[in-house]
A and B are shown apart, each in its own frame.
Chain A
Amino acid sequence: MSDVNDRIKTLVTENNVVLFMKGNRFFPQCGFSARAVGMLSQLDAKFETVDVLSDPEVRQGIKGYSNWPTIPQLYINGEFLGGSDIMMEMYQSGELATALAGDAPAAAE
């Protein structure tokens, strides 16, 4: 596994919900990324973002990591969920909220 794959794997396993995007949640640099942030915010999700514009290695690497040619990309519990179009369909059907609700580690108490 290459270094960038290791870095991405660490990012998506150490954070429950990670959005690889252009820009950040406050200043998205692309309409699709803005749409993805908007949906997650609307659902009150706790999520990390990775700005691929400031990290060319991850920008290329993430496309190979999930075999997916576009950005944004959402990962929940290390698993690739989809890009912004799939997020939108899942948002509208309620599946995105369900997937996000399942992200929290099961509470012991």
Chain B
Amino acid sequence: MISVEEVKRLIEEGLPEAEAVVLNEYNDGEHFAAEVTSTAFEGLSLIKQHRLVYKALGDAMHSRIHALQLKTYPPNRWPHAE
């Protein structure tokens, strides 16, 4: 089990100028959906962008997180910008 706040914190602290919107729809602490932006994503393939998020999540990705639906955006395509 891991909290939405913890997932969000790991992603945002692990990537430069990152922002993450994290959902745990069933409130089970295991199945998450996240949308993430970071300046690190610029110019990278989707595979590389997703790998950076997995890396930021580190051990949690291999243990406490059972599933993570992921969508990544370079900053200029971030749909949650104010």
Contacts and interface: CB of A to CB of B under 8 A. Distances in A.
Given A85-B50, A89-B46, 18 more contacts: A30-B67, A32-B69, A67-B51, A68-B51, A68-B54, A69-B54, A69-B61, A69-B62, A70-B67, A70-B68, A82-B46, A82-B47, A82-B50, A85-B69, A85-B70, A86-B46, A86-B50, A89-B71
B38 to A, nearest CB: 16
21 contacts: A32-B67, A32-B69, A67-B51, A68-B51, A68-B54, A69-B54, A69-B61, A69-B62, A70-B67, A70-B68, A80-B47, A82-B46, A82-B47, A82-B50, A83-B50, A85-B50, A85-B69, A85-B70, A86-B47, A89-B46, A89-B71
Q: How large is the interface on B (under 10, 10 to 19, 20 to 34, 35 or more residues)?
A: 10 to 19
A85 B67 contact: no
Nearest to B34: A85
6 closest residue pairs by CB, A with B? A86-B46, A69-B61, A85-B70, A69-B54, A82-B47, A69-B62
Contacts of B54: 68-70
Interface of A: 30, 32, 67-70, 80, 82-83, 85-86, 89-90
A90 B69 CA distance: 15
Contacts of A86: 46-47, 50
